Amino acid sequence: MKNRKKPFRQKARMQGFTLMEILIVVVILSILAVAVVPQFMDAPDKAKVSRAQADVKNLETSLSMYKLDNFNFPSTSQGLQALVQKPAGTPEARNWKPGGYISKLPNDPWDNPYQYLNPGNHGTIDIYSFGADGQPGGDGLNADIGNW
């Protein structure tokens, strides 16, 4: 009885993966990585564009509150700074809310100031970022992002 061979099940458990099986798994994982990774590579850029769009909407809302109190939007020369501190000049901000309409002016995700025009080229007022390149116009990430 000592010379009995080990049962088949025990022998199968002792075997590992063959080199061919490992190579097939590596190839499959590589193909998946090539297909999936490029979709996530531009995620930070898309996030910056989304943040700029959200900032523009928030500034537009704050300017609407400013207008409700003061009956006019700030002039281009008064700028977005009128949301933080009481502006001088015309139109006068007679009912400017103490403490302002926002605590601090944000910069766009590329660390440039947001632009403001009154009257705007696209509507009553324009609030916009020049995009990644910081220059007017452009395509893709370099395109202007505004409230139009």
Residue 109 belongs to a domain: yes
Residue 27 belongs to a domain: no
Residue 45 belongs to a domain: no
Q: What is the pLDDT of the chain when averaged over all its residues?
A: 86
* 129 within 8 A of 112, measured Cβ to Cβ: yes
* CATH code of 134's domain: 3.30.700.10
Residue 4 belongs to a domain: no
C-alpha to C-alpha distance for 32 and 83, rounded to whole angstroms: 49
Q: What would the pLDDT profile of 37-86 be if each residue is shown by its tens digit?
A: 777 777 788 889 899 999 999 999 999 999 999 999 999 999 999 999 99
pLDDT band at 128 (very low <50, low <70, confident <90, very high): very high
Residue 6 belongs to a domain: no
Residue 2 predicted with pLDDT over 90: no
C-alpha to C-alpha distance for 103 and 99, rounded to whole angstroms: 8
Domain count, the chain: 1
Residue 20 belongs to a domain: no
User: In which element (H, E) is residue 121 found?
Assistant: none
Q: What would the pLDDT profile of 76-115 be if each residue is shown by its tens digit?
A: 999 999 999 999 988 998 999 999 999 999 999 999 999 9
Residue 10 has what pLDDT? 57
Residue 130 belongs to a domain: yes
Which phi and psi (to 5°) does residue 116 adopt?
-145, 135
Average pLDDT over residues 14-30: 82
Residue 80 belongs to a domain: yes
pTM (two decimals)? 0.70
Segments forming the whole domain that contains residue 98: 50-146
